[in-house]
Amino acid sequence: MRAFLLRRLGFSFISLFGATFIVFSLSRISSDPINLYASPEGYGRTPEQINALKKKLGLDKPFFVQYAIWAANVAQGDMGRSLIGDRPVTKVIKEKLNNTIQLAVAGWLVATFVGIPLGVLSAIKRGTIWDYIGRSLALFGQAIPNFWFAILGVLIFSVWFEVLPSGFKGEGFSIKHFIMPTIVVATASMAGYLRMTRSSMLEVLDSEFVKLARAKGVTNRMVIWKHVFRNALIQPITISTLLLAGLLNGTLVAEAVFAWPGLGRAMLEAVRANDFPVLMAGVLIFVIIYIVFSLIADLLYAVVDPRIRYS
């Protein structure tokens, strides 16, 4: 287990380096960063002032040295200053990340507590109308684009019926502000839970020990919930961490459509404004989230299923 953890940590650092290095390179390839800093209201554009600003920001150094300086500053908690408003990037991240976490966790809870029961119902009612309904929900949940689903929800519930707000408004918000964004975020994950739970349940239902339990006269309810359900939950439980990581990294569409003040929307605005300090910080946060939750998912395999061992 120790060797496995060390190996995974090594690959995690390589992934973290690769992702940040690529985004850092793109921020330099797209345009010269000095053009974003040297505004007429600030230093102006005379050669002497531009050279002084380059020296101050470290842009006069080679590219690899710039990346090393950025990585060293990040390790100390300094992610630079945003070009929009000249605010510390860490402050921007703290303000936005909490809203993204709230929306992602709400979507994950809805997907988990709706998708898994629907998958169980679809499996034990195989070939019935309930099975067809479950499979149809899974199909449409994974096929419908999130942005179209979100816009359709705004059109129906905000424009036509006027029962739900079309987006985030003000500092305080009620449960109504969560309903449509949460459903949009949870739809694809719920469909994934449903399909995986149904497949796992059907696989266990056709196994030999279930047939033996039925032959011994065990009631159908006992077979389903004690033998089948417990064994079928191994895969959904272990991928739940990856789904949560995906939701934390994938709320951009819901945040953009519903004007949700989260990190995904902040990164979208950073892309539009070429605010690469905020963009780099957002990519770093998302990569760390996915790496950590991937490691947790690997460890859960061994915890949930005692037959799995890492040597």
Is the Cβ–Cβ distance between 92 and 263 less than 8 Å?
no
**What structural domains does the chain harbor?**
91-276 (1.10.3720.10)
Check residues 219 and 86 and name the one with the higher pLDDT: 219
pLDDT of residue 2: 74
Of the chain, the percentage scoring pLDDT greater than 90 comes to 22
Q: For residue 7, give the H/E element and its range.
A: helix 2-30
Q: Does residue 133 surpass a pLDDT of 90?
A: yes
Mean pLDDT of 123-149: 91
Number of H helices, E strands in the chain: 15, 0
Of the chain, the percentage scoring pLDDT greater than 70 comes to 88
d(CA 14, CA 128): 49
Q: Does residue 136 surpass a pLDDT of 70?
A: yes
User: Which tokens is 306 given?
Assistant: 């005692």
User: Which tokens is 212 given?
Assistant: 């033996």
pLDDT of residue 304: 66
d(CA 290, CA 239): 12
Mean pLDDT of the chain: 83
d(CA 97, CA 100): 5
d(CA 282, CA 252): 12
pLDDT in tens, 155-206: 999 999 989 888 775 555 678 888 999 999 999 899 999 999 999 999 888 8
d(CA 138, CA 133): 9
Is the Cβ–Cβ distance between 301 and 238 less than 8 Å?
yes
pLDDT of residue 292: 86
Q: How confident is the model at residue 39 (pLDDT cuts 50, 70, 90)?
A: low
Check residues 36 and 303 and name the one with the higher pLDDT: 303
User: Which tokens is 298 given?
Assistant: 């690997």
- Confirm whether pTM is higher than 0.75: yes
pLDDT of residue 182: 92
Helices (H), 155-275: 176-205, 208-215, 220-222, 229-232, 234-249, 252-257, 263-272
